[in-house]
């Protein structure tokens, strides 16, 4: 694979963004900043943030055991998806392939960028078939986006099928691992050196508990990361987000780990209890922090949960392959037992 043949021509010739501070940013003597038209009176917020997010990337590098020049940070992984697509896909010409059902944002970003999005159906158990994906990936397809564990189905994709796709495709493969921490699987991070065409997405929004900060991570070869950095806007992540995320990683990782373990236990509890309810037709296995259920009266149950307790779940019935389903996020132990109680109460109201 030659990276230069995959990157859009206008991006190949783009020079990386640099500020007057880049050259001497690290010099201790330099402390009077009259270069960026900021308000000179010091507060926590008067200076532009580090456009390279150096400190945060170093913390992430340690956490993920990966070198920091293989990390790209976006304003949420949604921004990373957009930047990846704009780096590689020529609007009106190139195409991408995704799975269906999967995360809706891939198609949305493709449509916004005028890139055709071909969707390959998962099977009735939401399994990935590498052959069907590769069959769609003809010469105009620049990128394949997989999601594992998948949203909204919750399951991890077969490692072998994913490998066949990465090995059999002459373009970029993105694996969105937003939920990988909830799975008993290490994901593909340690395979980056094996696969130069691979980009892995992870996020601060789910297991790390920082959705509000809007921080998404892309991991790839240094060559790919360099191009993504050219395309991003210089100050895409606020200084406040950078410093809070840094502090959370440094000081609060142990409590995040405990929360993660509790969520996994609670997921198993919810699955076990939901399987006892006769009106629930199928509880899909989950490698994530949510559960997809196929149920009688899906819309009615959805409304009942909102009206009775203000408990909001997601109705996925309109999504391909997900007719009559609700997607329910694992909550705290109290929230989960209340949910189960409400679902039992609902059973009494229905004639099954």
Give the footprint of ligand PLP on this chain (CB under 6 A).
76-78, 103, 147, 151, 176, 178, 203, 205-206, 211, 216
Q: Give the residue among 323, 286, 301, 272 at the shortest CA–CA distance from 151.
A: 286
Name the residue among 114, 256, 94, 250 with its Cα closest to residue 181: 256
- Distance from C-alpha of 299 to C-alpha of 74, rounded to nearest angstrom: 36
Return the residue nearest ligand PLP (CB atom). Answer: 76
Q: What minimum distance in Å lies between the beta carbon of 178 and ligand PLP?
A: 4
Considering the complex, what minimum distance in angstroms separates the CB of residue 111 from ligand PLP? Answer: 17
Nearer to ligand PLP among residue 103 and residue 284 (C-beta): 103
Comparing CB distances to ligand PLP, the nearer of 7 and 217 is 217
Taking each helix axis as running N to C, give the angle between helix 239-251 and helix 54-64, from 0 to 180 degrees, rounded to the nearest 10. 30
Q: What angle do CA 152, 224, 1 make, to 5 degrees?
A: 95
Angle at 84 between CA 172 and CA 9, to 5 degrees: 80
Minimum CB–partner distance for residue 291 and ligand PLP (Å): 14
328 contacts 306 by C-beta, under 8 angstroms:
no
Question: Which is nearer to ligand PLP, 176 or 273 (by Cβ)?
Answer: 176
Q: Which is nearer to ligand PLP, 50 or 78 (CB)?
A: 78
Rg over alpha carbons for the chain, rounded to the nearest Å, is: 22
Minimum CB separation of residue 181 from ligand PLP in Å reads 12
Whose Cβ is closer to ligand PLP: residue 207's or residue 336's?
Answer: 207
Please choose, from the candidates 290, 274, 293, 291, the residue with its C-alpha nearest in 3D space to the C-alpha of residue 282. Answer: 293
CA 103 – CA 177 distance, rounded (Å): 11
Q: Which is nearer to ligand PLP, 83 or 305 (CB)?
A: 83
Minimum Å gap between C-beta 205 and ligand PLP is 3
Cβ at position 80, least distance to ligand PLP in Å:
8
User: Minimum CB separation from ligand PLP for residue 160, in Å?
Assistant: 21
Residue 243 parent element (H or E):
helix 239-251
C-beta closer to ligand PLP: residue 77 or 236? 77
CA dist 71 to 48, 64, 309, Å? 21, 10, 42
Tell me the β-bridge partners of 145. 98, 174
């Amino acid at each position: 694979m030659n990276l230069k043949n995959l990157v859009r021509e206008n991006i190949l010739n783009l020079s990386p963004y640099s500020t007057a501070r880049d050259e001497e940013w690290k010099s201790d003597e330099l402390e009077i900043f009259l270069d960026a038209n900021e308000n000179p009176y010091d507060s926590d917020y008067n200076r532009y943030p580090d456009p390279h997010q150096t400190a945060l990337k170093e913390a992430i590098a340690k956490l993920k055991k990966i070198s920091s020049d293989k990390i790209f940070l976006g304003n949420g992984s949604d921004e990373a998806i957009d930047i990846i697509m704009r780096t590689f896909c020529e609007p009106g010409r190139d195409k991408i392939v995704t799975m269906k059902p999967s995360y809706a944002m891939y198609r949305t970003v493709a449509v916004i960028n005028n890139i055709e999005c071909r969707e390959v159906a998962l099977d009735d158990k939401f399994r990935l078939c590498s052959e069907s994906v590769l069959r769609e990936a003809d010469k105009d397809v620049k990128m394949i986006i997989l999601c594992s564990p998948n949203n909204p189905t919750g399951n991890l994709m077969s490692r072998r099928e994913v490998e066949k796709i990465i090995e059999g495709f002459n373009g970029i493969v993105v694996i969105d691992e937003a939920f990988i921490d909830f799975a008993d699987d290490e994901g593909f991070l340690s395979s980056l050196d094996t696969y130069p065409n691979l980009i892995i997405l992870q996020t601060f929004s789910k297991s790390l508990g920082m959705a509000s900060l809007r921080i998404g991570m892309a991991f790839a070869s240094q060559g790919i990361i360099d191009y993504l950095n050219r395309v991003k806007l210089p100050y895409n992540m606020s200084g406040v987000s950078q410093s809070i995320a840094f502090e959370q990683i440094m000081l609060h990782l142990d409590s995040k780990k405990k929360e993660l373990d509790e969520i996994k236990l609670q997921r198993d509890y919810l699955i076990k209890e939901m399987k006892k309810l006769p009106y629930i037709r199928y509880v899909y296995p989950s490698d994530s922090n949510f559960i997809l259920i196929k149920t009688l009266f899906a819309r009615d149950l959805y409304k009942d949960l909102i009206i009775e307790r203000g408990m909001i779940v997601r109705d996925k019935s309109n999504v391909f392959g997900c007719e009559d389903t609700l997607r329910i996020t694992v909550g705290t132990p109290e929230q989960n037992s209340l949910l189960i109680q409400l679902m039992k109460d609902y059973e009494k109201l229905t004639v099954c």
